[in-house]
Structure 1
Amino acid sequence: MSTVENDADVIVVGAGPGGSTTAYHLARHGLRVLLLEKTEFPREKVCGDGLTPRAVKQLIKLGIDTSPEAGWLRNKGLRVIGGGVRLELDWPDLASFPNYGLVRTRLDFDDMLAKQAVTAGAVLRTGVNVTGPVLDDAGRSIGVRAQVGPGKEPAAFHAPLVIAADGVSGRFPLAMGLTKREDRPIGVAVRRYYHSPAKHDDDYLESWLELRSKESGDNLLPGYGWIFGMGDGRVNVGLGVLNSSSAFGKTNYRRLLTDWLANTPPEWGMTDEANADGPILGAALPMGFNRVPHYTKGVLLVGDSGGMVNPFNGEGIAYAMESGELAAEVAVQALARPAGADRERALAHYPTELKARYGGYYRLGGIFVKLIGRPEIMRIATRHGMPHPTLMRFVLKLLANLTDPRGGDAMDRVINAMTKVAPAV
């Protein structure tokens, strides 16, 4: 077999938060990185646009200025509404994570991260639609096939390692034969922007545990909702429905969103179609490692591509960025070794470490998803849990995965023990 000249040490497929974070850390360590993105920046993405302290920590590692002066809207914590109770829960004060969250549209956010990767030394190519792997005789990926530019010209790029960060579609891992696991939770989220002078600069992320419409009366609508102020005169409003709900796949989610919003105060501006800014858009939320293995035959999976959305709260950005950082660390160590068994041993550490970090926690999240998919359980939990602030602070730490691994308080120790005892997914 003839030797092929590599275009990079690592090819990263997809320049979302996971891909750009991966590319940044790889480039920072001196590797030649080719970051391939099928669209052009800036580009829109369906998302709640809210970032918890987990994601903020990753932004700080990337050298991003997260100050209000740089255009970020900071939030103090989570406002939870349910069971007739409205409770404001501040983000915990921890050694491991900052005590504030952020809001930023994906239009700005993804563009900013991609530029940061380029600043670190990565080569970004947009308008490159990766269609599948280039395989050697042993079936190992040695690059990618793609369609480039408006003419969709065929092209191939070569590297000894490929990192798939191509989101929920997971076209690259699918082309490698990695299909979704049907026994793992998945959600659907829809969201829309509204002009709302009354809510746009809210300093809490708002989560609705019970959704009702004027027509439904006391009957709960399926799912959970959010209202996140954007700080620019608009709010991001959306809802999520999990596959543990009997309504999953049988519901008009766009109608569900407008039915819920019709029950909100008129002064918020979400009952008037004239205040809407753009259409209602939806996306899937792949949770709890619903695509594995996370490393095989020269390919590592990062973020949504590997089903890494948190089942407890639907958060995907933080885990995309964390897994991207880990994938970069593993790749740097692996490529410092000769090709063969020694390098494969280093690469096999990636799924092992992912399982150690998140496996038990995601297992608990899968149980949580099954419970809240039943309206009667949700009703009992909100009515009896919400009136107890101490319990809800514990729930916030659990749902947002915010604890100190060592030296934390009693809540941290209980949550950490639960995740260690739970068998990893």
Structure 2
Amino acid sequence: MLLKQNYDVVVIGAGPAGATLAYELGKKGIGVLVLEKEKLPRYKCCAGGVTSKAANLLDFDISAVAEDVICEVAFTFNLGNPFLGQHSEPLIYTVMRDVFDHFLMQRAQRLGAMLMDGKRVTQIQLGGDSVEISTADSTFRSRLVVGADGAYSIVARELSMNRGIEYITAIESEIVVAEDDLAKWKSRVRIDLGVIPGGYAWVFPKRGQLSIGAGCRASRARHLNRNYQKFLNSLSIGNYTIARSGSHLIPTCTEGRLVWQDRALLLGDAAGLTDPLTGEGIYNAIRSAQLAAPVIENYLTGAAGGLQDYQQIVDKKIITELRMARTLAKYFIRFPRLVFRILSKSDRVWRAERKVILGETDYAAVNEEVGGLKGILGQLLRL
């Protein structure tokens, strides 16, 4: 077995979180090794929606890898007539995750990050002054390890950091349709709130296909596949071919989530930082990486503070917001019909949602704007 040493940081996972951290540390001149179990570029089952607020976190343009630019969201309840939420500027950029993730990783490599793909980590051991990360044929030593390896994070599992997580179950297909059918979805996303009990279904357009999927809380996923098929059949898209299809778990954290331990940090999905209301995880994947970078720099240079600062920052800037999203998600899950009625009859609600997508406000501000639970109940009673 080959022993490799002298890496400042080893990042496990080359998705948006891992690639962004490698990029941010590269800008600071910090050496990073990224271990990725698959060969890049690799397919990732994902709707592939990068919100404008997520894109705006990056200091480079992603338009080169955008499949479509979304300016309209069509909301329906149980396959009924849509409410169209529109905006003059981009709300969402759709991407194929194999292309997008590889694009981010290449940015990091330009700044000196080293990528070893096709390297599945099998063991992680914390020592007194270092961490040893083992694969089938190599062992790597680092001053710290960062888990950016998604819902099934080996870092979280090996270090017993995988508590405080609930899961959303999602299924999705990449569906090739006729050009005329594809053109109907140009710049428009579809979200149905009623056909999936405890969740929602979606259509995200890409250049040559539609990403069509559905998700709900894992505890309510018994009939997810059947209801997904119902949604797919309702779309009237004519002849189509399923190019790829898959299912996956989306982790969302609960109270007391541990994202730091000793010489290890967790980012993005590995930390359970997915939005429990929308199921969107790219924004917090990028943001958690950007929050971790200065903490890691301070740790490596011996400046004030330690890696525990990352836990405090994430608790303050991300977990608090996810707590509010979880509260709002309860309304969507329990009262999808009424939520749709509010949305379709009150432009104020769409304006608030649009601001969240654009990054102009957050869930806490939205909750305050509508008056919390009393305000929501008041709107329901006025319908």
In the superposition, the TM-score normalised over structure 2's length comes to 0.86
In the alignment, is the contact (CA less than 8 A) between 2:161 and 2:259 conserved in 1? no
Moved over 6 A (4+): 410-413
Q: How does 1:8-407 map to 2 (within 5 A)?
A: 8-58=7-57, 60-61=58-59, 63-67=60-64, 72-82=67-77, 84-90=80-86, 99-136=90-127, 138=128, 142-147=131-136, 153=137, 155-181=138-164, 185-196=166-177, 197=179, 198-199=181-182, 202-211=186-195, 221-232=197-208, 234-243=209-218, 248-251=220-223, 253-265=224-236, 268-269=237-238, 272=239, 275-288=240-253, 292-337=257-302, 345-374=305-334, 377-398=335-356, 400=357, 402-404=359-361
CA–CA separation in structure 2 for the residues paired with 1:210 and 1:192: 20
CA contact (8 A) 1:289 1:308 kept: no
What displacement does 1:289 show?
A: 5.2
Q: Which amino acid aligns with 1:146?
A: T
Rounded to whole Å, the distance in 2 between the matches of 1:301 and 1:145 is 18
Cα RMSD (Å): 2.8
Quote how far apart the aligned CAs of 1:322 are: 1.0
2:63 alignment partner, SS class: coil
Displacement after TM superposition at 1:372 (Å): 2.9
The normalised TM-score by structure 1 is 0.78
- Classify 1:19/1:416 alpha carbon distance in 2 versus 1 (closer, same or farther; 3 Å): farther
**Given that residues 175 and 244 in structure 2 are in contact (C-alpha distance below 8 angstroms), is that contact kept between their aligned partners in structure 1?**
no
Structure 1 pair 107–75 and aligned structure 2 pair: CA distance change class (3 A): same
- The 1:21–1:161 alpha-carbon spacing in structure 2 relative to 1, beyond 3 Å, is same
| Superposed displacement of residue 413, structure 1 | 9.4
What is the aligned-residue identity percentage? 23
Please identify which structure carries the higher helix content.
Answer: 2
Q: CA deviation at 1:185?
A: 4.1
The structure richer in strand per residue is 2
Comparing 104-113 and 296-305, the one that deviates more? 104-113
Distance 1:88 1:166, change over 3 A: same
Q: Structure 2, unaligned stretches of length 5 or more?
A: 373-383
Which SS does the other structure have where 2:201 is aligned? strand
CA distance in 2, matches of 1:177, 1:416: 40
Contact 2:119–2:135 at 8 Å: present in 1 too? yes
| AA aligned opposite 1:26 | L
Q: Which secondary structure does the structure 2 equivalent of 1:21 belong to? A: helix
Which blocks of at least 5 consecutive residues in structure 1 are unaligned?
A: 94-98, 148-152, 212-219, 419-425
Rounded to whole Å, the distance in 1 between the matches of 2:365 and 2:256 is 31
Corresponding residue pairs, total: 365
CA shift in 2, pair 1:416/1:361, >3 Å? farther
